[in-house]
Homo-oligomer: A and B are copies of this chain.
Amino acid sequence: MKQSAEINGRIRVAIEAVTPEIDDGRFPIKRTIGEPVVVQADIFADGHDAVSAILLYRTAREKSWNELSMRHIGNDRWEEMFYIREMCNYYYTLQAWVDHFHTWQRDVQKKANAGQDIRVDLLIGAEYIEGAAERATREDEKKLREYARLIRAGSDPSQGLSCALDQEITRLMAAYPDKTYTASYAKTLAVTVDRTKALFSTWYEIFPRSCSADPQMPGTFRDCARLLPEIAKLGFDVLYFPPIHPIGKVNRKGKNNTPASEQHDPGSPWAIGSADGGHKAVEPSLGALDDFRQLVKEAGTHGIEIALDIAYQCSPDHPYLTEHPEWFKKRPDGTVQFAENPPKKYEDIVPFHFETENWQDLREELRSIILFWIEQGVRIFRVDNPHTKPFAFWDWLIKEIKQACPEVIFLAEAFTRPKVMSRLAKAGFTQSYTYFTWRNTKREITDYLTELTQTECREYFRPNFWPNTPDILPEFLQYGGPPAFLIKLVLAATLSSSYGIFSPSFEQCITDALPGKEEYLDSEKFEIKHWDWNKPGTIRELIARINKIRRENPALQTTWNLQFYDVDNDYLLFYGKATPDLSNIILVVVNLDPFHAQAGWLTIPLGKLGIDPAQTYLVHDLISNDKHLWQGERNFFEINPAVMPASIFRVHRRLRREEDFDYFM
């Protein structure tokens, strides 16, 4: 669509400020199947002539563009949208031109209204119509020529005028516009398309080695398989394992990350590689590769996908160190540089040296690791510390993998600086950990979610909310106990359509931390646990209920529809989500104070929710099963965290008597 210099000077339309467009179009936006792409642009010409604009879009498989007429939404801003229907990349761009016929229709009407002589004007219109006839199908050409004849022939200009303005000619002329001097937007913008799970996913993280029913034995993949029905009942659809590869023996860490390990310390799973193999091998105590493949299959029958951890780093005894010493940084004393963030030392881990001369070989090998696990049936990868590898590497790797296997989902473990986190999302990570873990007050949560959902960020950064991880037991959970766990659970599960928990620590509300730190005491990272998976008094039932609510309410299956509403108490957070057709409306009230009951007046946005202010409406708390008949915009509500710190209301509009009756029975 390049424009020849020959006509350049006659192109009069400007197309500017196109959205969405990330970094001048350098990075694609992201969508899942079924989501819309709403494109806007400033489009205008010199003078008073009317402008027409089209949105062009196509899938990577299509050779030609689909065209949609854009509409003017005020102040020279234009808009149109298309929906993602196929599982492949999409492209879009814009065209616009001065629409002489439309200008003429508008002006000839104004002149006629002012009683001016329009006889010559009608001839001009006839010329435009004859021009369109040249571009038309034979059938339409006939119609167009007949219109031109009628407009020319009329001895009564008012007859010609009504002919010139009728719906059929307007439609026909729009079908054959004169696009000789069309402005084509200089860039073609891309959409990365992911499957639905990229947007709506519910993650459960466990250490397989902690899954044994036998307190003397470490857990295996077979033990994990036994837990699958229960995990499915809890409502999770992604089961994520820390690295399952052989753990290094050299400099292996002991309990609580102590430098010297005891004889039987199992080591951190992130210290990958030993004589037993590296990133493409399985830690022997967990089982064989076949066991893993079997587990992946069994999980599938429960609607669960296994997600693997990709940690691009090695233990000092990883085979790569002898096979490819050039991939690691040597110190002047001949030793290999282990990982450090001075004064912190990670002696059990050696980073890859991405500035190596052999960076291209290294890249290929790192790609082959992902391809290997794809072959074993894995489609979801949680990437450890992506912010310590070059952006250019991720740009390349994710593109390569998505080309080979479009359904792959990458979750970035990025709790790093905001700009770095954002750049990793642009590099192609499907989902990202966020700062949610540390957002506790109404102001913090509102500001952060507004940034995530109301700014350009929403086009490429999909949040995945984690209240805890093996690395992080936040102060809020440590101090707040079970109500705090429930608060963070409801927030994570309803603010973001993807969330995850590290369990059973989460469901058992474990609050034992290293003193003065946000880290678990006796962390599973360094020892094998034997959990009582059926311990009474946990919050398992509530987790299951909330995941069920998410599954049954489409409004909660996206993050982009979030709206905050007013409540006159800073400890109460009030927000809602609804499907575009308002057939599913969810309102959530959370008491952010885990210790005290809080109450306030909620302001329900009746207009936006399509609720008649004169009628009652039913709000049904899907957690407690309580029902309330509310009326009007303001309703008083109190939440006692000792009972349950949140309500998730489904709103039923336009309630009639007889329905009330049925519903309450």
Contacts and interface: CB of A to CB of B under 8 A. Distances in A.
Interface in A1-22: 8-12, 14, 16
Given A110-B342, A331-B120, A332-B120, A46 B388 contact: yes
Contacts of A516: none
Contacts of A123: 331-333
A392 interface: yes
Given A111-B342, A419-B75, A120 B333 contact: yes
Contacts of A127: 332
Interface of A: 8-12, 14, 16, 23-24, 42, 44-48, 75-76, 106-108, 110-111, 113-114, 116, 120, 123-124, 127, 181, 331-333, 335, 340-343, 345, 354-355, 359-360, 363, 387-393, 396, 417-420, 423
Given A46-B388, A123-B332, 18 more contacts: A9-B354, A9-B360, A11-B392, A12-B390, A14-B423, A16-B419, A44-B420, A46-B387, A46-B389, A48-B341, A75-B419, A107-B342, A114-B342, A116-B342, A116-B343, A120-B331, A120-B333, A181-B355
A332 B130 CA distance: 13
A332 B125 CA distance: 10
A9 B76 contact: no
A45 B108 CA distance: 61
Contacts of A391: 12, 14, 46
A390 B48 CA distance: 12
Contacts of A11: 390, 392
A124 to B, nearest CB: 6
Q: Give the interface centre of A42, A107, A331, A332 by most chain B CB atoms within 10 Å.
A: A332
A76 B420 contact: yes
B14 A46 contact: no
A124 B331 contact: yes
16 contacts: A9-B359, A9-B360, A9-B396, A12-B392, A14-B391, A16-B419, A24-B24, A44-B423, A46-B387, A46-B390, A47-B389, A48-B341, A75-B419, A107-B340, A116-B343, A120-B332
Contact of A44 (B48, B332, B341, B419): B419
B14 A75 contact: no
A10 B116 CA distance: 71
A628 to B, nearest CB: 42
A112 B359 CA distance: 32
A12 B354 contact: yes
Given A114-B342, A124-B332, A333-B120, A418 B12 contact: no
Contacts of A8: 392
- The winner among A181, A354, A387, A419 for most chain B CB atoms within 10 A is A419
A47 B359 CA distance: 17
Contacts of A396: 9
Most chain B CB within a 10 A radius of its CB, from A107, A113, A355: A355
Nearest to A362: B9
A107 B337 CA distance: 14
A98 B419 CA distance: 16
Nearest to A392: B9
Nearest to A385: B47
Contacts of A331: 120, 123-124
Nearest to A418: B75
A418 B114 CA distance: 29
Contact of A10 (B76, B332, B359): B359
Contacts of A120: 331-333, 335
A342 B8 CA distance: 28
Contacts of A181: 355
Nearest to A427: B14
Nearest to A333: B120
A22 to B, nearest CB: 10
B343 A110 contact: yes
Given A111-B343, A332-B123, A335-B120, A419 B42 contact: yes
Contacts of A106: 342
Top 6 nearest A-B pairs (CB, nearest first) are A114-B343, A123-B332, A110-B342, A107-B342, A76-B419, A47-B388
A113 B343 contact: yes
A313 to B, nearest CB: 12
A316 to B, nearest CB: 16
Contacts of A354: 9-10, 12
B417 A75 contact: yes
